[in-house]
Structure 1
Amino acid sequence: MSRIPDRPLRRGWTTGACATAATKAALMRLWGGHFPDHVSIVLPRGETPDFTLAHMEAGPGWAEAGIIKDAGDDPDVTHGALILARVTASAGGVQFRAGAGVGTVTRAGLPIGVGEPAINPVPREMMRGVVEDVAATYGKSADIEITISIPGGERIALKTWNPRLGIEGGLSVLGTTGVVRPFSCAAWIASIHRGVDVARAAGLDHVAGCTGASSEKAVQALYGLPDHAMMDMGDFAGGLLKYLRKHPVPRVTIGGGIGKMTKLAQGAVDLHSGRSQVDFARLADWLGDPEVAQMNTALQAYEKHGERMASVVAEKALEQVERLLQGCAVAPDVVVIDRAGAVIARAGR
């Protein structure tokens, strides 16, 4: 299990920031005749990181530069990936292409249209900005085609949510600030939101959020749900349910193991072990067993009380889910599983 270091965490740079820096360097070669050793860009919040080039190549009418992505201390699957930008003249304006390892959008609901390369709006704006700036420096017309490639990106993408979101063929070029903040919840929650958007655009009437792989497998099999109905909720029950309240889907199932579902039943919306804990005195009261107050894990209590505890947790978790969804047209149910992935309790429709 990875552990967050005791020292201050080092931030990194998003794929979008790396693509922007590579684009700037490639333009400097195309229009200025030489590659810089390193290149600086301005991020949306004013930071000015400096990037060293890891790849330089050029030919008649084109130039390509590459940056090795440094995600800092964040466990980002794209850390160490080579982000390539190739530039050549376009028929008009700035145009984007997906090279090898960059995905293409195939489902509605994402901020980029179907058929477009999976390069998100903010990175596109950043790249347009450097095209305009470098064009002005060299007195050129800002008519450029930018092809972003990430060698090995198709393989790396299998470790991301892209296949479920309908992004095929590789990774997305992401980043709203250009900065990767280590162990940030924001990126995960944003992916949950995009999952809901895709499900709504596809007309799904039932989605599910589960705390882990075992509960997801059990819930998906229980209801026969397609992959893009599974929201990769993880610990962020609140992130999913609050978004569904504003962007409803007719039905949602929340699934998880006994420990995390007990925390949800007690009102926690972030189920991570470092950010919420089971209140054993309260659990003891629910079960009418003072010994539970002295226990260390919910699993201990379940081993003693079995299905009765699972049923209590499921019903009380459903109450919390209904509270978070109050006032919107979403019908919830709750599924609790054991460590082997078997369903041990259900509540709701």
Structure 2
Amino acid sequence: MTTAERAEGTGLRSGWTTGACATAATTAAYTALLTGEFPDPVTIDLPKDRHPSFALATEHLGDGAASAGVVKDAGDDPDVTHGALVRARVTHGEPGSGVTFRAGEGVGTVTKPGLPLDVGEPAINPVPRRFIREHVAAVAARHGGSGDVVVEISVENGAELARRTWNPRLGILGGLSILGTTGVVVPYSCTAWIDSIRRGIDVARAAGYEHVAGCTGSTSEQTVQRLHGLPEDALLDMGDFAGAVLKYLRRHPVPRLTVAGGIGKLAKLADGHLDLHSGRSQVSLESLAARVRAAGGAADLVAGVRAANTALDALRQCQAAGLPLGDLVAAGARETALEVLRGAPVAVDVVVIDRAGTVVGQA
């Protein structure tokens, strides 16, 4: 495959989306179907004047079908599909049918409303479909084809890889989604995670749910499920992206939101941080000490919180002194959430937990 680009300002290698890989594989396969020869490497056209070339990992021609495979290189992004073999099998379609998409092995099928694809459709997202249609049309124009084809996309081991994604929760069953809006994977941009949060909200709204939960991890998710009995597809794997949940709910409200997480993450939200990643925001012990002071905490407790090793250490000191630091953090986090929601019709409650999943604060 072409040498990946360096992401601006990071020194990290960018990579290519499954959508770009599927487009390259389709282009090579359709070219071979019309000409008998596979272009290798195969070059495609992406937005922002990018024209990457991909080496073919597999190719097969015969029986009225052509297939080609490309190994995905996600660059330096910790992408679950890095190294996956993305294949396209192309056959002639009925006259006037255009491009018909099918899910091969390892590509999921949509089973719930609320996604940008109809129920029953292969999980090949709208932008990759557009890329593939455009490249099919270009190949047809170059080599005298009709452009009426059936394109079946598959991903080796895709069903297994999909278990490590949001797909099962979103109702995309049987495999992965073919994703990408630019064709480029920016390292650590977390675009895919944020997009999954948005699709999770869309699915919950389409299902008519009136209560969703944004949870920082599996422990807080289990606690919320125990407290509220929410169905799995009402649980949003928020991770560090509290802002993504709140901003999308501001535009697409659900009547009730529970925000749940550990004392450290939610202390940062209480201080107004919307990205809770340890590399992008820090717990302010000074701020926790100020909350303890405002709540009437003794001077030695305030000093102890200011000198604490972690937010959890501060919590334990306050628990021993009978001061509800967890409730104070929950109230602050709720205040931040309401500020970001800007009056959207979303009722918010916050649940703070310790590492064992015990509720140590609520607002």
Normalising by structure 1, report the TM-score. 0.96
| Unmatched 5+ stretches in structure 2 | 1-8, 294-301
In the TM superposition, 1:215-234 aligns within 5 A as 215-234=220-239
Letter in 2 for 1:167: I
Match of 2:23 in 1: 20
Over the aligned positions, Cα root-mean-square deviation in angstroms equals 1.3
1:299-342 CA-to-partner distances (Å, cap 9, x unmatched) read: 12112012611111111211111222231111110001111111
Q: How many residues align?
A: 342
Instruction: Kindly state the Cα deviation for residue 294 of structure 1 after the two structures are TM-superposed.
Output: 2.6
Instruction: Kindly state the Cα deviation for residue 293 of structure 1 after the two structures are TM-superposed.
Output: 2.1
Match of 2:132 in 1: 127
Which deviates more from structure 2 when the two are superposed, residues 169-178 or residues 258-267?
258-267
Question: Aligned equivalents of 2:166 and 2:128: distance in 1?
Answer: 19
2:316 is aligned with 1:303: yes
User: Is the CA contact (8 Å cut-off) linking 2:312 and 2:354 kept in structure 1?
Assistant: no
Query: SS where residue 159 of structure 1 aligns?
Result: coil
Letter in 2 for 1:128: R
2:331 is aligned with 1:315: yes
Match of 2:43 in 1: 40
Which deviates more from structure 2 when the two are superposed, residues 298-307 or residues 168-177?
298-307
In the TM superposition, 1:49-198 aligns within 5 A as 49-91=52-94, 92-198=97-203
| Unmatched 5+ stretches in structure 1 | 1-5
Instruction: Kindly state the Cα deviation for residue 185 of structure 1 after the two structures are TM-superposed.
Output: 2.5
1:204-262 CA-to-partner distances (Å, cap 9, x unmatched) read: 11000011111111111211111100111011111101110110001010000010111
Query: SS where residue 258 of structure 2 aligns?
Result: strand
Which of 342, 346, 359 is residue 326 of structure 1 equivalent to? 342
Instruction: Kindly state the Cα deviation for residue 191 of structure 1 after the two structures are TM-superposed.
Output: 1.0
Which of 229, 244, 250 is residue 249 of structure 2 equivalent to? 244
Question: Aligned equivalents of 2:113 and 2:98: distance in 1?
Answer: 25
1:155-214 CA-to-partner distances (Å, cap 9, x unmatched) read: 110000001111011000000000001111322111111110111011011000011111
User: Is the CA contact (8 Å cut-off) linking 2:213 and 2:260 kept in structure 1?
Assistant: yes
Query: SS where residue 36 of structure 1 aligns?
Result: coil
Letter in 2 for 1:154: A
Instruction: Kindly state the Cα deviation for residue 150 of structure 1 after the two structures are TM-superposed.
Output: 0.7
Instruction: Kindly state the Cα deviation for residue 66 of structure 1 after the two structures are TM-superposed.
Output: 0.2
Letter in 1 for 2:126: P
User: Is the CA contact (8 Å cut-off) linking 2:73 and 2:82 kept in structure 1?
Assistant: yes
Question: Aligned equivalents of 1:175 and 1:221: distance in 2?
Answer: 35
Which deviates more from structure 2 when the two are superposed, residues 255-264 or residues 184-193?
184-193
Give the 4+ runs in structure 1 shifted more than 4 A: none
Letter in 1 for 2:356: A
Question: Aligned equivalents of 1:259 and 1:116: distance in 2?
Answer: 41
1:5-34 CA-to-partner distances (Å, cap 9, x unmatched) read: x98211100000000000011011100111
Query: SS where residue 116 of structure 2 aligns?
Result: coil
What percentage of residue pairs aligned between the two structures are identical? 60
Which deviates more from structure 2 when the two are superposed, residues 193-202 or residues 272-281?
272-281
Normalising by structure 2, report the TM-score. 0.92
1:125-161 CA-to-partner distances (Å, cap 9, x unmatched) read: 1000111000011111110110001121011100000
Query: SS where residue 255 of structure 1 aligns?
Result: strand
Match of 2:357 in 1: 341
